[in-house]
């Protein structure tokens, strides 16, 4: 591969076998243009059904069919345009297609906006009669039930219009926070390990807080949080306004609380949220053990909050080229059986993956695609352990979509966020188990254990702490108490003391950490990271212990897409998130990692 002077190759310098094949969606851009025009025409045609869905089962069925066909074709148009633009942002032609597909998204959303209100306006007896007389309509039964489940919380047309107009106001706290957090807040200069002055940015903070030099970690911690501390009253006002907007919406829509309104969308019982918090509270002793272990391995008299992100051990260099990563991932996933491995190999060899960075390529990694194509995976692979896990993770997403699309009709294929991280995390867990069983080098093994335990700390414990913070501040506001900078800091500091235990110094500045978390403006979202991770670890544990029966259950879950509510789908894989058991099971795995690490230290 010929690199140019910037060190990053141009798109045309990447070998074809390392690029995804978007030609599998559209072999020419002219075909994309044809479908773009078809979607526009479909959107216009939908308007003939406005106000007519109550006339008869035939009209309702025609409208539902047209909308499903439009959305399926639109998805194809939208995904192709955006993925082409992600290959190379300097390509103005594909940026143009991407912009046009964004405009088409607005047109499509406007065109079918009438459908849900008009479906909800059909009286229950009349809808029952429609379903009885039309077999075609019965296919949409679950889809219609999902819409009509909202009926008790939908207001009159005039009230809904007022709420829609107020929607922009409800977004204001998050928008103000984003401007402050991304544009206006400035951080001081610190000295790096070599004594060079570096202005702190959020990206650099993540690198510097992992520094092996403790002075650097403390300086960057103080630099970041002192900046948020200066803005604490303003940010407390934006977070408080966001909480009040949630409470207003919940009360207007007749939900018992803001939390219940948020969980209602996925039909998740509040007990799932509470069970997560209670299960973590019952297992805080494991986090205390981890903190004590970190303190011991790092050889510190006092462990501080700024010592949590640096590796406990000196980094073990593991150079893993993509070809080796691919083979290791295959070996790691052998427990999922020959069929899964054959489909994984398709992904590796049939143009699903865009492997390397090139000039103008979107950063990071993701899995995407449309119902009428195989899935795609975007990577920016470098030869690190982390990027090997990224490959396993994204292929988990890809194969979840692959099986959902193959086994479900379009309208029931898309799975919800609540279960979206299960397949990806499960792949990582199986890969980690394989590496731990096959690594003979003591330092490498300890490094892997450190890596995996950090995932438990950051994804299960930390996200649950965030979820508990959201629960407490909403309950406080719902009881009529003010959310001030002081009260928010007090709640947040107490949670850190509770979650991390006696072997860490809970530095004063950690009490302001809530002020930098953008997820708090997408309220009651973060708990899904912890539940999804726990479900995945629970299923991977079943697969490793039971073998084939657990694999078969898991495959049925992958094939079920969005054909039922998330809680019911996970039960297919023998995971009942309405009980604390999956979280407890996952934390048993965390405990075994602690046991292994302690045994290696004492060996």
Distance in angstroms (rounded) separating the CA atoms of residues 490 and 463: 18
Q: Residue 192 domain-assigned?
A: no
User: Which of 276, 316, 304, 584 lies closest to 451, judged by CA?
Assistant: 316
Is 149 in the same domain as 242? no
Is 331 in the same domain as 380? yes
Q: Residue 548 domain-assigned?
A: yes
Mean pLDDT of the region 24-48: 97
Position 1 pLDDT exceeds 50: no
Is 447 in the same domain as 503? yes
Is 126 in the same domain as 178? no
Domain count, the chain: 2
Alpha-carbon distances of 81 from 6, 19, 90, rounded to whole Å: 27, 16, 14
Is 245 in the same domain as 149? no
At residue 3, the pLDDT reads 43
Could you give the residue ranges of the DSSP H alpha helices within 88-156? Answer: 92-111, 115-120, 124-133, 135-138, 141-148
Q: Residue 520 domain-assigned?
A: yes
pLDDT averaged over the chain? 95
Q: Residue 407 domain-assigned?
A: yes
Q: Summarize pLDDT for 68-102 with one digit per residue, the tens.
A: 999 999 999 999 999 999 999 999 999 999 999 99
Active site residues: 394
Q: Residue 80 domain-assigned?
A: yes
Is 181 in the same domain as 106? no
Question: Is-above-0.85 flag for pTM?
Answer: yes
Q: Residue 463 domain-assigned?
A: yes
**What is the residue range of 545's domain?**
170-185+231-603
Distance in angstroms (rounded) separating the CA atoms of residues 569 and 415: 10
Q: For residue 556, which phi and psi values (nearest 5 degrees)? A: -60, -40
Q: What's the CATH code of the domain at 252? A: 1.10.1370.20
Q: What's the CATH code of the domain at 105? A: 1.20.140.70
Q: Summarize pLDDT for 351-401 with one digit per residue, the tens.
A: 999 999 999 999 999 999 999 999 999 999 999 999 999 999 999 999 999
Q: Residue 160 domain-assigned?
A: no
Is 493 in the same domain as 529? yes
Is 296 in the same domain as 357? yes
Is 255 in the same domain as 349? yes
Is 177 in the same domain as 121? no
Q: Summarize pLDDT for 176-198 with one digit per residue, the tens.
A: 999 999 889 999 999 999 999 99
Q: Residue 5 domain-assigned?
A: no
Is 144 in the same domain as 61? yes
Is 276 in the same domain as 175? yes
User: Which of 351, 349, 376, 350 lies closest to 365, judged by CA?
Assistant: 376
């Amino acid at each position: 591969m010929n690199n140019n002077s910037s060190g990053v190759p141009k798109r045309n310098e990447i070998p074809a076998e390392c690029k995804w094949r978007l030609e599998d969606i559209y072999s020419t851009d002219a075909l994309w243009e044809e479908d773009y025009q078809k979607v526009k025409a479909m959107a216009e045609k939908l308007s003939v059904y406005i106000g007519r869905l109550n006339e008869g089962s035939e009209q309702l069925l025609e409208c539902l069919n047209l909308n499903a066909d439009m959305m399926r074709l639109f998805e194809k148009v939208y995904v192709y345009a955006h993925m082409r633009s992600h290959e190379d942002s300097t390509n103005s032609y594909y940026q143009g297609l991407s912009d046009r597909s964004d405009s088409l998204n607005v047109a499509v959303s406007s065109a079918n906006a009438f459908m849900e209100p008009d479906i909800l306006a059909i009286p229950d007896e009349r809808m029952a009669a429609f379903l009885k007389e039309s077999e075609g309509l019965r296919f949409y039964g679950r889809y219609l039930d999902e819409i009509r489940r909202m009926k008790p919380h939908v207001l009159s047309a005039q009230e809904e219009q007022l709420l829609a107009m107020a929607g922009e106001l409800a977004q204001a706290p998050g928008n103000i926070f984003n401007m402050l957090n991304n544009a206006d807040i400035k951080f001081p200069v610190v000295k790096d390990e070599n004594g060079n002055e570096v202005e702190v940015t959020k990206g650099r903070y993540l690198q510097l807080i992992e520094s092996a030099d403790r002075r650097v970690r403390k300086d960057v911690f103080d630099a970041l949080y002192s900046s948020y501390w200066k803005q604490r009253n303003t940010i407390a006002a934006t977070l408080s306004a966001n909480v009040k907007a949630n409470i207003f919406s919940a009360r207007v829509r007749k939900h018992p609380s803001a939390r219940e309104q948020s969980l209602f969308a996925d039909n998740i019982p509040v007990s799932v949220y509470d069970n997560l918090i209670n299960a973590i509270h019952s297992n805080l002793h494991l986090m205390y053990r981890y903190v004590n272990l970190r303190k011991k391995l790092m050889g510190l008299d006092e462990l501080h909050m700024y010592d949590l992100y640096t590796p406990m051990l000196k980094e073990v260099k593991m150079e893993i080229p993509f070809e080796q990563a691919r083979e290791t991932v295959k070996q790691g996933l052998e427990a999922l059986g020959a069929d899964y491995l054959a489909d994984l190999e398709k992904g590796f060899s049939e143009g699903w993956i865009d492997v390397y960075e090139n000039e103008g390529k979107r950063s990071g990694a993701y899995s995407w695609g449309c119902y009428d194509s195989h899935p795609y995976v975007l990577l920016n692979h470098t030869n690190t352990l982390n990027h090997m896990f990224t490959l396993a993770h994204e292929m988990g997403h890809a194969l979840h979509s692959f099986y959902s699309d193959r086994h479900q009709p379009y309208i029931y294929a898309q799975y919800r966020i609540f279960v979206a991280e299960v397949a990806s995390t499960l792949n990582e867990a199986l890969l980690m188990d394989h590496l731990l069983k096959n690594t003979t080098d003591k330092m490498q093994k300890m490094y892997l254990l450190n890596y995996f335990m950090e995932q438990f700390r950051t994804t299960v414990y930390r996200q649950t702490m965030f979820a508990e913070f959201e629960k407490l501040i909403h309950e406080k506001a719902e009881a009529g108490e003010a959310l001030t900078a002081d009260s928010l800091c007090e709640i947040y500091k107490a949670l850190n003391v509770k979650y991390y235990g006696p072997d860490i110094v809970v530095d004063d500045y950690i009490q302001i950490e809530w002020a930098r978390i953008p997820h708090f403006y997408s309220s009651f979202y973060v708990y899904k990271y912890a539940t999804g991770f726990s479900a995945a670890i629970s299923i991977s544990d079943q697969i490793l212990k039971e073998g084939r029966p657990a694999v078969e259950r898991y495959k049925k879950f992958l094939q079920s897409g969005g054909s039922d509510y998330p809680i019911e789908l996970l039960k297919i894989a023998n995971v009942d998130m309405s009980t604390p058991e999956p979280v407890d099971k996952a934390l048993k795995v965390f405990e075994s990692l602690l046991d292994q690490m302690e045994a290696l230290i004492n060996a």
